[in-house]
Each structure stands twice: as structure tokens, then as C-alpha cells.
Amino acid sequence: MNLPNDKQEILHQLSVHFEASHNIHLHDLFMDDQHRGKNYMQQLSTLYIDFSKNIITDETLGLLFKFAKASKVEESIRSMFAGAKINTTENSAALHTALRATIRQKIEVDNKDIVGKVHAELNRIKAFVEKVHDKTHRGWTNKPIDTFVNIGIGGSDLGPKMVVDALEKYRHDDLRSFFISNIDYQTIESLQKSINPETTLFIVSSKSFKTIETLTNARTLKTWMQKIGCDDIGKHFVAVSNNLDAAREFGITSENIFELWDWVGGRFSLWSSIGLPIALSIGFNNFEDLLSGAHEVDEHFSKTTIEKNIPIILALVDYWYSNFFDAQTHAFIPYDESLRLFPDYLAQLFMESNGKSFNLNGEPINYKTMPIVWGSTGSNSQHSFFQLLHQGTHFVPIDFLVPLSKKGNKTHHAQLVANCFAQSQALMQGEKNSDPKKYFPGNKPSTTILYSKLTPKTLGSLIAIYEHRTFVQGLLWDINSFDQHGVELGKKLAVKINDNLEDTVASKGMDSSTQNLINLYKQHNSCKN
């Protein structure tokens, strides 16, 4: 593939710079600049982003900033916020930012202002949440709702589930929550043992209202409710979808269908009606704070120059590691039990967005794109995979996340923070030892993101930083971060295979491995019968 001449020239300069500097040790960079820690730190509201422990210099950043400008990052950001159809393969805008816009803003899609629609839907969510919380929304036996179950998958599950779990301390006292996404019937059985059907609300979250896993789980639970006597499904099921007809056909009343729009992608949708479980769990005022935190980052991202723009800087460092250091994975380690689901959420956000091998013009890419994203909470992870991070052969950049303060035992929190800071320091500086088994090479890069404490607003800001970081990565790699065609083939084949599993006739058109697996399934289940 051919790159514009200016990008080719900057990439050449970066390559020359890499050859000259990649063996520089981080420890030496800190020795040469006693103020490096402050010089390579940015603050946004209550967030502090320390990227000083990365293998970069002012020259590195200068070249990367030039590359960002040549990649038209600033122009693309303006286009996204203006509602341009930057999701070119699906001919749609990508306006998750509009979901947290203020009512005073004006954003148009197809010459129609959408901010009013967003706030109208938010008002509907608020009204519904209040009815559940004040116990005026009741089940078929006139008992108040004390439990909700979110039925979704992917973006309709991971984001809301992560936020609800992270903000457990803000949870409404009288309302339990469950999330089911796996089509394994065991999840249904376990759920049924844990809930009272008379007091349970089910939220069916599917943009198309055709998602096989979601609709299978929803129909099974609907049938279960009807068998035990529920004569008014509309009191127990609500929907989040843009397929209003299908939701109504399922038995959900129009007033309890909350709308999604084509210009919102699933993994960017927790700010929308997909966030109904969040609002139910933490209350609408706290949900608004979540939106406010994200909006604050939107303002920073859309108005701050490249050189001071936090999501852009982080994305450029990602590009530096992926395309010059051949980093094939990136670890995310929150030293905060509240963020235990955050690595899973980020795995979808990054890899579904940027796990692509064709550019915006449909041409095959001859360079690396998204590394594999993984991680777990500290300090547990220190005693599992940190051996590899310290002394293994793989180059693995790391994001550490840690709250500066947290309610509870101060001794515990001080030890937690100390472990986080110590790991980033040890990975950076290493330790010499004549015994090779005890030698730590160091020079392992990391970014540390600190926050005053985990509030709804802080979490909103944190998520938005990662969303925008994802978008900028896509711009640097010249790919569309907002489609996900790679998940469709498996879905299509699963339908065909499912038909074969239930059919006594021999399958047709299957490869020998898949056919053998199908035969084993049929044999096993015929024996059981």
C-alpha cells in the first residue's frame, strides 16, 4: 500500500530515531533529567497521567506529533464531533460524544439535531428509574421491583456490567443486579435460583433485537415467567433497542422500549439507553455525573492541541510500541478492586475496534495494528504473571491504574499504592545481580494513571480517555475503529451448525474437522436419550 509522501518521510525519520535510541535505558533517562517525572505528566480534572516511564524522549514525541498531524488526527476529531459519517463501511456517524453533550450543544446527523433526542431519552430513563426506586413500578402480583437482570452481550453487557460493579458503593440500597450474556443454560439455572420472579425486572439490550444469544436467553426467561404464572410480561420486561416493532412483538410495551441510534456503536454505548442498568443501580443523578465526567474529557480532546492532548499522547505511545518495538500485547493492571472488570471491558474496546488488517480504502495493511489486550488486578497479578513482565522475553507495555484515596483501612490502601508504585519503578529501573536468575533487566515501559478517588464522574472521564485513545489509534493505523465485521462470520456459521446439530440427517458442506465434531455431539446426545 502507498502512503502519502509526508507520512513516509516522518516514518523514515521515526525509523532512524528508533535505531539510534531504542537501546537507551529508562533508568538513564531519569538520571539525565531529574524533572522527568513532572515533565512527562498531564493532569485532567482529578486524573493524573504519568507517562514518564515510557521509552520516549522529547525528540520521540516531536516526531510522533508530526506523524499525528500528517495522519490528520485533528481534522478527524473535528469531523467526528461534527457528526460526519466517519464509519465509512456502515455509512454512519460515530457520535457517542453526543450522548453526554449538554442540552445547549447542537450536533446534527443528516441535517437533524440529535442532542434534543438524546436528552428526551435521558428524561425517559430518569422517569423510569424513579418509578422503580419509589416502588410505583410493580410486578404482576403488585409487588415492587427489588432485582433487575440485564440480558445482553458484547457492548450491551461489558460496559454496563463493568460500571455497575465499579460503582458498587453508589448502589441503590433496595435493588440487586444481575447480568447474563453467556448462552450456556447454566447461567439461566443459576439466575433462576437467585431471583424472585414476582419482583424481578428484565432488561433486554439488543440494538437489532435479533442478537441470537440475547434473544435466546430472553425468550427462555419469558417462557419461565409465563409458566410460573406471570400474566403480564410487560411489567417485567423492558427493552433497549432501535427495532421497536420486534421489541413490541416480544411483548414489551412501547413506553418501556428505550431507543438506540445507528450512530452509536455497541462498545461505545454505555452512555445511552444501554446504560439503563447503570442508572437503575446508582441512581440517575450519579449516572449524570458519569456523563459529565466523559463530557469533560470530550471538551479536552476536541479543544486541546496535540502536544497536550492526553488521549492523543497515549495513542501515539501505543503506536510507537506496536509499530517500532513490535509490542504484541498490552497489559492493563488496575490496583483497585472496583476496576476488576476494567481489563475485560478494554479488551473489547480496543480489539474489536482496531483488530483490523485492511485500511480505510480496503487495501491490505503491511504493518502491525492492535496488540492483544489483557490484564488483571494488582496485587494478585504480581503473584501470577508479573514474573513474565519482569524477566520474560516479551516486550509488554503496561497501564497501571490506582486511586490516590479510598474509603476503608488506610494501612491496606497505603500498601496497595506502594505495591503499584514499586512495580512500575522495578520494571523501569531493574536490578543488577551477578546471579542471572536474580537479574532484573528493567527498561520495561509503563504508564500510571492516578485518580483522586473512584467517583461516577472520575470513572466517566477515565472511560472517555480510553475511548478517544482507541479512535486515535485507528487514525494512526488508517483503519475504521467503528465497524466489527470480524465477529459476523462465526455468527453466520453458528446458525448453520446449530441446524445440523438438531438434524438427524448428515450435514452437507462441512470440513472434516467440523463434521467430526458434529458427529460426536450427535452420538453423545443420542446415547443420552
Could you give the residue numbers annotated as active site?
352, 383, 491
Residues 6 or more apart whose Cβ sits within 8 Å of residue 24: 55, 57
**DSSP letter string, 162-223:** HHHHHTGGG--TT-EEEEE----HHHHHHHHHH--GGGEEEEEE-SSS--HHHHHHHHHHHH
Rounded distance, CA 488 to CA 477, Å?
22
Task: Give the rounded distance of the alpha carbon of 371 from its chain centre.
Answer: 15
What is the maximal distance between C-alpha atoms in the chain? 76
Rounded distance, CA 37 to CA 55, Å?
13
Q: Which of 92, 506, 1, 42 is nearest to 317 (CA)?
A: 42
Q: Which of 202, 241, 235, 201 is nearest to 218 (CA)?
A: 202
Asked if residue 72 lies in contact with residue 306, where contact means CB atoms within 8 angstroms, the answer is no
SS3 per-residue string spanning 359-408:
CCCCCECCCCCCCEEEECCCCHHHHCCHHHHHHCCCCCCEEEEEECCCCC
On the 0-12 / 13-18 / 19+ scale of CB atoms within 10 A, 211 is buried
φ, ψ at 452 (rounded to 5°): -55, -55
Asked if residue 350 lies in contact with residue 331, where contact means CB atoms within 8 angstroms, the answer is no
Rounded distance, CA 46 to CA 460, Å?
12
Rounded distance, CA 180 to CA 164, Å?
14
Q: How far is CA 93 from CA 86, 109, 111, 265, 385, in A?
A: 6, 7, 12, 9, 40
